[in-house]
Amino acid sequence: MAGVNANAMVEKQLVAATQIIEQQLDAEIERLDNLDSDDLDAIRRERLEAMKKRQQKKQEWISNGHGDYSELYDEKEFFETTKKSENVVCHFYRDQFVRCKIVDKHLNILARKHIETKFCKINAEKAPFLTERLHIRVLPTLCLVKDGKTKDYIIGFTDLGNTDDFSTEMMEWRIGRADVIEYSGDLLCPPTNGLRGGQRMDVHRKKTIRGGNKGDSDDSDSDY
């Protein structure tokens, strides 16, 4: 009997929720129907202005090298890049590390997709002051910068399913959690195709932004 009552209550709640949504839709339709030509013109102007601003922003991004995954050759160039671009993803790498080449593959794809963000890499051996300042101890490490400030790190592959064959979508999701790209998916749920069977992600685990950046990796080459 209790189960029947519970089902009836759930059904009643669903009906009530549906009615509220229908009322909201009716109100929005009525509002749109009552718009006069001046209102419609104002909406069009606002949309055109937003489109123009977006296009101007795209041109600014392109002029700053967005859309390509580029190499930074010294520490000065790193600081210049983080000043010019609001959002920066910088990969600290070494040539002989296989995992760094895996990261290169994914960032090449994401750089073309997310033109709003500057994707770049720098050889850690050529930037000793920078790696020390950012407490980078494990390679590959991605430094995620917003408005000139380091917001997050992706250290090794632990946050990517702890596997070498994670998907580009998994990398995109993890970068998106730092709010340095315009991510359209669900930030609370990592893409399942980026995880091997049985693996789970703890999406609530806090990252170390300042202080000892000592991530673990199962790649024997990754300790810098």
CA–CA dist 67, 23 (Å, integer): 44
Flag whether pLDDT at 213 surpasses 70.
no
Flag whether pLDDT at 156 surpasses 50.
yes
pLDDT tens string 71-115: 999 999 999 999 999 999 999 999 999 999 999 999 999 999 999
DSSP string, 37-90: HHHHHHHHHHHHHHHHHHHHHHHHHHHTTTTSEEEE-SHHHHHHHHHH-SEEEE
CA–CA dist 191, 159 (Å, integer): 12
What pLDDT is recorded for position 168?
97
CA–CA dist 139, 102 (Å, integer): 12
**21: pLDDT confidence band, cut at 50, 70 and 90?**
confident
Structure tokens at 93: 């790498």
The mean pLDDT of 185-203, rounded to a whole number, is: 65
Structure tokens at 70: 């580029």
**6: pLDDT confidence band, cut at 50, 70 and 90?**
low
Structure tokens at 60: 């600014």
Q: Set out the domains of the chain in order of their start, with CATH numbers.
A: 2-60 (no CATH), 68-194 (3.40.30.10)
